[in-house]
Structure 1
Amino acid sequence: MPGSLSKRTLTSSDASRYSKEMREHEQIENADVTARSVDDSVDPDILEHYTRYPNRWSRIREYIREPAAEFFGVMILIIFGNGVDCQVVLSKNPAVAASPFGDYLSLNFGWAVGTALGVWVSGGVSGGHINPAVTVALATFRDFPWRKVPAYIFAQLMGGLCGAGIVYANYIHAIDLVEGGRHIRTVPGTASLFSTYALDYMTSVSCWFDEFLGTAVLLIVVCAITDARNGPPPPGLVPLVLFIMILGIGAALGMQTGYAINPARDLGPRLLTAMVGYGSEVFTFRSHYWLWCPVIAPFVGALVGTFFYDLLFFTGGESLLNRPNAKARALHERAANAERQRPIAGVEMV
């Protein structure tokens, strides 16, 4: 019948063959489009899907990376700080070295290097506090979340303990020579290589004020270099400013109490000394000196330093002192955010 070929119904085999040919044609077209995209300098990354958690560990890491950064930041601080203390002091003993390796300025440089590198390592992740006094001051005045404070302080304390343990293991033979044997450990003696002990002539009030003053100066400078309206250093150069600051504090205020200005820097290594043979005397020394001088005084100094900076200079909305009053709230007004809140190290966040 004329026209019967054009109007005939497709069999099942014809339909299957037609479907297969169409799929092959689409695959060829898709491959051609991908090839043309690459050839036309189109970023192949846009053809992929990215996830924040590519595996199980990445999800776990999200919860621990900030405390881990604080841990390693403080550990690096202590490795350089306690390390330079041990090298300079122990090398003065003829049984350890033929000639001294360093002097008081060496101590200042060691602690300054440790601070700068500790902040550099942790700054882009956690903000580079590496100091419980800094953490509490920022939580009190600068909107740092209080829920993070316990984890930060615990990580900082453990970083100090582990850093001191590494240094102790490295210098244990020199300590044995100076002390007269593995079974002898004296306080302050070689315990002062790891934690701070004030000079004998210092009164309790003078010790407390020395640590208070050093930490207040520290926080004033920290507030200034993170204030976008007060000439902050270029991104990434905050560790250099902190290097200069710690070097200056050590050179000007470090003689009398050892300028702890950081509870984790003192308490972490002090715990280590109690564990390795120095005993409870590291805590009972001079009416529990460890608590009221290198721990409480830095916290108070940090709060006072931050308070006065915000009271007189800082205009950003992050500050507790710039919260809108009733009139401003009625007009839906508030201070503009001005601080590069995180990280303290000055790294630009995207």
Structure 2
Amino acid sequence: MSSSDIFIGEVIGTAVLILLGGGVCAAVTLKHSKARNAGWLAITFGWGFAVLTGAYLAGGVSGAHLNPAVTVGLAIEGGTEWGKVPLYLFSQLLGAMIGAVLVWITYYGQFQAHLTDREIVGGPGAQDTVKAVPNSEPGPVLGIFSTGPEIRNVAQNLATEIIATVVLVLAILTQGLNAEGNGLGVLGGLITALVVVGIGLSLGGPTGYAINPVRDLGPRIVHAVLPLPNKGGSDWSYAWIPVAGPLIGGAIAGGLYNIAFA
């Protein structure tokens, strides 16, 4: 597998993953969206279909890791060369950022309407200012871009992300990925998508189940730099947890695979 294949496949696959996954969050969250308030089931299935689409697009090109935790798990398991890991991670982060920008473009009008609505941002004159939401607080649309806990408890939040990611990566590794790390195959993409739906339904409640460092970090960076009115802060104090937790979970899954299944 060439470096160009890895770069192209991971950028495109991850961009589509974030476009569809972030897109369902935008659809459910934003005013003047036909899917507003569709709920958690819509979000979990939307993310599952996002994984499915991204995996099928990139599977034959890069192996469709689309997730640094998967890449780390595969490297520990032996299916991916460690020398290729930095390229995978860079490509995934770039793709995630592109996907987040595409969500903003797709829902541009809804973002503007939502973030200038006094019921959302509060206060008289909110429609005329870009400072209505304090920059120290997570903004009203941050959840479209990145995850956040319902209860802020560092140990619990980190453990939740680790546990959920172990389930994801172990489920992928046990599908028979070959030694070259060439992907999941036709049925594997569907199985992985259903696993993601299951994780969202069962384990996603506490933290929003990042289970993918670039799924959270890339869009969070985009949220920080986009010219969104009244966007508030990007919650950087929490941002390390959905990066570190999935990476730890991926590493644990790779080790467990070698102990129990190899």
Q: Return the TM-score normalized by structure 1.
A: 0.64
**Cα distance, 1:100 vs structure 2:** 3.4
* Counterpart for residue 248 of structure 1: 198
Residue identity over aligned pairs, in percent, reads: 32
SS at match of 1:249: helix
Q: For residue 183 of structure 1, report the CA deviation from its aligned partner.
A: 3.3
Q: Name the counterpart of 2:61.
A: 125
The answer as to whether partners of 1:179 and 1:185 remain within 8 angstroms in 2 is no
Letter in 2 for 1:252: S
Structure 1 residues 313 and 106, CA, compared in 2 at 3 Å: closer, same or farther?
Answer: same
Shift of residue 207, structure 1, vs aligned partner: 0.7
Map of 2:108 onto structure 1: 172
| Structure 1 position 269 matched with structure 2 position 187 | no
Aligned to 2:71: 135
> Is 2:238 the counterpart of 1:289?
yes
Shift of 1:62: 5.2
2:94 corresponds to 1:158: yes
- The one-letter amino acid paired with 1:263 is P
Q: Which amino acid aligns with 2:162?
A: F
What is residue 18 of structure 1 aligned with on the other side? none
Among candidates 162, 168, 183, match of residue 130 of structure 2:
183
Once residues 132 and 163 of structure 2 are traced to their aligned partners in structure 1, the CA distance between those partners, rounded to angstroms, is 32
**SS state of the match for residue 239, structure 2?**
helix
Amino acid at match of 1:86: A
Aligned residue pair count: 240
Report the 3-state secondary structure (helix = DSSP H, G, I; strand = E; otherwise coil) of the residue aligned with 2:242.
Answer: helix
Aligned to 1:207: 157
Q: Is the 8 A contact 1:185 1:277 kept in 2?
A: no
**For the structure 1 residues 238 and 276, does the alpha-carbon distance in structure 2 shift closer, same or farther, using more than 3 Å as the test?**
same
Q: Which has the larger radius of gyration?
A: 1
1:112 corresponds to 2:48: yes
Counterpart residue number, 1:66 = 6
CA-based RMSD of the aligned residues comes to 2.3
Q: Are 1:197 and 2:148 an aligned pair?
A: yes
Report the CA distance shift for 1:99/1:210 in structure 2 as closer, same or farther (over 3 A).
closer
Q: Is the 8 A contact 2:48 2:193 kept in 1?
A: yes
Q: Taking structure 1 as reference, are residues 112 and 184 closer, same or farther at Cα in structure 2, changes over 3 Å only?
A: farther
Q: CA deviation at 1:65?
A: 2.1
Match of 1:82 among 22, 35, 45: 22
Structure 2 residue runs of 5 or longer lacking an equivalent are 117-126, 179-183
Contact 2:76 2:255 in 1 (8 A): no
CA distance in 2, matches of 1:195, 1:257: 10
What amino acid is the match of 2:47?
Answer: W
Contact 2:79–2:177 at 8 Å: present in 1 too? no
Q: Is the 8 A contact 2:28 2:35 kept in 1?
A: no
SS of the residue 1:282 aligns to? coil
Q: Give the C-alpha shift of residue 101 in structure 1.
A: 5.9
Structure 1 residue ranges, 4+ long, deviating more than 6 angstroms after superposition: none
The one-letter code matched in structure 2 to 1:183 is V
The residue identity in structure 2 corresponding to 1:290 is A
Residues of 2 paired with 1:168 and 1:196: CA distance? Answer: 17
2:94 pairs with 1:144: no
The gaps in structure 1 that reach 5 residues or longer are: 1-60, 229-233, 315-350
- The offset of 1:98, in angstroms, is 7.4
2:186 to 223, 227, 236: 236
Distance in 1 (CA, whole Å) between partners of 2:132 and 2:105 is: 14
2:254 to 268, 286, 306: 306
| Distance (Å, rounded) in 1 between the aligned partners of 2:84 and 2:158 | 28
Q: Secondary structure at the match of 1:297?
A: helix
Could you report, residue by residue, the CA deviation over 1:286-322 in whole angstroms, capped at 9, with x for unpaired residues?
xx2101x1000100011112211221122xxxxxxxx
> Deviation at 1:185?
7.9
The offset of 1:99, in angstroms, is 7.4
The residue identity in structure 1 corresponding to 2:108 is I
Q: Which letter does structure 1 place at the counterpart of 2:168?
A: L
The one of the two structures with greater contact order (alpha-carbon pairs below 8 A, sep at least 6) is 2
Most deviating of 77-86 and 139-148 = 139-148
Amino acid at match of 1:88: V
- Equivalent pair of 1:202/1:256 in contact (CA under 8 Å): no
